[in-house]
Structure 1
Amino acid sequence: MPLKAELHCHIEGAAAPELVLRQARKYDADPAPFIRDGAFVWHNFTSFLAAYDFSADLFRSEDDYVLLADHYLTSLARDGAVYSEIFISPDHAKKAGLSPKAYTDALGEGISRARAKTGIEGRMIVTGVRHFGVDAVEQAARFAARSGNPLVAGFGLAGDERIGDYEDFVRAFEIAREAGLGITVHAGELTGWESVAAALDHLRPARIGHGVRAVENPDLVRRIADLGVVLECCPGSNVALGVFPDFASHPLPALRAAGCKVTLNSDDPPYFRTSLKREYEIAAEHFAMNEKALAALTRIAIEAAFVDRRTKSALLARLDRPAR
């Protein structure tokens, strides 16, 4: 299996069940409705959110967030990853009773600790949550622009795709772009191809989170390929949430064949019984991708990473080293 890289993972959704159980003991919380036999339990999108919110609420202090980022990136490195970008949310920080800066710096410390141990590089993408409204997304963009943390490298839009129009968030993305941050936007997951087109029209992202529903419109697929916009695909998540009924129906091979730049990502891995390693295995098993094809996806991810030129060159050099 080749070296791996990930561009699309929500850090609160990356907390492994064993880590959540540890936090539940720390805060005397009952995990029984949400974790059974070492795995998260949910049955539909509503119960998924309930399990997610329960777990996210167990990360409350700066030390908790250091632990969370360190634990996740260390596990990625153990599975052969050399690079990770995580989505972070100032709104989660506020809910936890922390300032966005304290929360972000704690996650950055966790990333740095994982790098010191394993060599994995990591960066953070601040996200605005669209269903919290335009003002909240603009506040998140302003925070991202002035955070001062060198590991904050991008700005994105997450949340319920069915709420708010992409044109409502133009100002937020202008703030982020003016600050030199990389731009990625969730679109084309729960809603159809129109959301991908609207994101491209109004927000001009370098990358689209998911974007797989673009396959419904061949003209849009050609546009994505021509623009070189990178799709952060999450097959395990898509099938678990019913976006597609099975891997045989997943459009990643079709998008790739049409010339789109696609990558593999885990989204909220333990909730979907996946991992970045598992996503590469899915691609090999269900999409008939050999090691050379999988390595090409890792290269696309690193070339699309929101990092400085020197770091990107060093990461690409790691891909080019002969396997030992």
Structure 2
Amino acid sequence: MSLFARGRPAAPFPLAELHCHVEGTLQPGFARELAARQGVDLSGFADEATYRWEGFSGFLAAYDRAAALLRTEDDYRRLAFDYLTGLAAQGAIYSELTISPDHAAASGLSPETYLGALARGAAEAERETDIVCRFLVVGVRHLGTDAVEAAARFAARAPGVTGFGLAGDERLYRPRDFEKAFRIAAEAGLGLTAHAGEFAGPAAVAETLDALNVSRIGHGVRAVEDAALLARLREEGVTLEVCPLSNLALGVAPDAANHPLARLRQAGLRLTVNSDDPPFFGSDLTAEYRFAAEAGFEPAERLALTRNAIEAAFVEEPVRKRLSELLTMRALALGAPGSSL
């Protein structure tokens, strides 16, 4: 029986996300288990529910330190399975996981082996919970253009990969430095996105649109500083992958009251909310949707966040149609007691 016809109980609120880095889902409990197996001391680094780090550079180093604990195919299979089943329990119907062949190589795995392990975990999660997952390969910009182009070539030939993106330290290199990588991915028919407008300002978003021909922007919140850019994003229908609690943890916004999510909505942009690297920021997808609610998003507007994610997802059209139908069914059920977020 298909995923959309099993008649399982409706989730409390239908969620979907486009922006989550798979190594960034590693829960501290699993990290401590891996560390014990490897004889690695995590004292002072991994607390019960989160990791300790300071500043954006410190976060990047902490991310790499945690990712280095993932060393086997089964580690990655379990990572994907654990995250996706947990996400489904929150009510999610779709997840797009960002994967990094460079992190696989650092752990001693080939990109093919790494992807295969993640795909097995995702398939197991779908069989158990019905959540749909697709993979987006990312190039790490601070590793340089050659590394990003290699990631694009892998993405172009890898089965089950539907998108390509650019992540890493936005303060290094310019978007045009990665034009070749994005051309490789585009010619393979992959969806395109890139981190921009997080630590670099709105000009970085405009440059990314000009150079890389993306349909989505990862983060993009600094666009709120430029009225002309907001108009362009609205007119071109670009989807922003906003990660509010990540922005707060990293100091992109000083506090919740000053986060630009509500102003981006007022500007008429296509928005989604996403968990980015949940345990690093003490968040999960439910918390991101709750942040939107506290920022004034009514239930219909929060449903629109999920619909935006499905419409912008790098997924096959028949699956997008079925996800849209499932979202409509879930939305109709939201009047039931206990079904609100």
TM-score bracket relative to the smaller structure: over 0.9
Which one of the candidate residues 288, 298, 301 is aligned to 2:296?
Answer: 288
Residue deviations 1:193-225 (CA, integer Å, cap 9, x gap) = 010000001101010000110111100000000
**Quick one: distance in 2 between partners of 1:296 and 1:97?**
41
Does the CA contact (< 8 Å) of 2:237 and 2:270 recur in 1? yes
Which residue number in structure 2 is paired with residue 248 of structure 1? Answer: 257
Which residue number in structure 1 is paired with residue 154 of structure 2? Answer: 143
Does the CA contact (< 8 Å) of 1:2 and 1:294 recur in 2? no
**Quick one: distance in 2 between partners of 1:46 and 1:224?**
29
**Quick one: distance in 2 between partners of 1:56 and 1:171?**
28
Which one of the candidate residues 51, 73, 83 is aligned to 2:84?
Answer: 73
Residue 2 of structure 1 aligns to a residue whose secondary structure is coil
5 Å matches for 1:7-26?
A: 7-26=18-37
Which residue number in structure 1 is paired with residue 6 of structure 2? Answer: none
Question: What is the CA-CA distance between 1:25 and the residue it aligns to?
Answer: 2.0
**Quick one: distance in 1 between partners of 2:92 and 2:33?**
25
Which one of the candidate residues 179, 200, 207 is aligned to 1:191?
Answer: 200
State, as a whole percentage, how many aligned pairs show the same letter: 52
Cα distance 1:283–1:114, how it changes in 2: closer, same or farther (>3 A)? same
Which residue number in structure 2 is paired with residue 298 of structure 1? Answer: 306
Residue deviations 1:144-168 (CA, integer Å, cap 9, x gap) = 0011x22x11000011111111111
Which residue number in structure 2 is paired with residue 155 of structure 1? Answer: 164
Which one of the candidate residues 255, 269, 275 is aligned to 1:260?
Answer: 269
More off after superposition, 94-103 vs 26-35: 26-35
Which one of the candidate residues 135, 140, 154 is aligned to 1:124?
Answer: 135
Count the aligned residue pairs.
321
**Quick one: distance in 2 between partners of 1:312 and 1:37?**
37
**Quick one: distance in 2 between partners of 1:241 and 1:51?**
13
Q: Indicate yes or no: 2:60 matched with 1:49.
A: yes
Does the CA contact (< 8 Å) of 2:27 and 2:49 recur in 1? no
**Quick one: distance in 1 between partners of 2:210 and 2:60?**
30
**Quick one: distance in 2 between partners of 1:276 and 1:266?**
5
Q: Indicate yes or no: 2:141 matched with 1:133.
A: no
- AA aligned to 1:276 is L
Q: Indicate yes or no: 2:44 matched with 1:33.
A: yes
**Quick one: distance in 1 between partners of 2:262 and 2:196?**
19
Does the CA contact (< 8 Å) of 2:76 and 2:117 recur in 1? yes
TM-score, normalised with respect to structure 1: 0.97
Q: Indicate yes or no: 2:99 matched with 1:88.
A: yes
Residue deviations 1:113-144 (CA, integer Å, cap 9, x gap) = 11010000001100011111111111110100
Question: What is the CA-CA distance between 1:31 and the residue it aligns to?
Answer: 1.4
**Quick one: distance in 1 between partners of 2:59 and 2:238?**
30
Runs of 4+ in 1 over 3 A off after TM superposition: none
**Quick one: distance in 2 between partners of 1:225 and 1:175?**
27
Question: What is the CA-CA distance between 1:53 and the residue it aligns to?
Answer: 2.0
Question: What is the CA-CA distance between 1:24 and the residue it aligns to?
Answer: 1.5
Does the CA contact (< 8 Å) of 1:2 and 1:291 recur in 2? no
Cα distance 1:100–1:305, how it changes in 2: closer, same or farther (>3 A)? same
Which residue number in structure 1 is paired with residue 215 of structure 2? Answer: 206
- AA aligned to 2:91 is G
Question: What is the CA-CA distance between 1:43 and the residue it aligns to?
Answer: 2.8
Which one of the candidate residues 217, 224, 228 is aligned to 2:226?
Answer: 217
**Quick one: distance in 1 between partners of 2:170 and 2:55?**
17
In the alignment, structure 2 segments of 5+ residues that lack a partner are 1-11, 337-341
- AA aligned to 2:313 is A
Question: What is the CA-CA distance between 1:28 and the residue it aligns to?
Answer: 2.0
Q: Indicate yes or no: 2:324 matched with 1:316.
A: yes
**Quick one: distance in 1 between partners of 2:48 and 2:28?**
10
Residue 20 of structure 2 aligns to a residue whose secondary structure is coil
Residue deviations 1:4-30 (CA, integer Å, cap 9, x gap) = 000000110111112212212222211
Does the CA contact (< 8 Å) of 1:86 and 1:125 recur in 2? yes
Question: What is the CA-CA distance between 1:39 and the residue it aligns to?
Answer: 2.6
**Quick one: distance in 1 between partners of 2:65 and 2:178?**
29
In the alignment, structure 1 segments of 5+ residues that lack a partner are none
TM-score, normalised with respect to structure 2: 0.92
Residue deviations 1:292-315 (CA, integer Å, cap 9, x gap) = 110111000000000011100111
- AA aligned to 1:79 is Q
Does the CA contact (< 8 Å) of 2:28 and 2:47 recur in 1? no
Does the CA contact (< 8 Å) of 2:192 and 2:215 recur in 1? yes
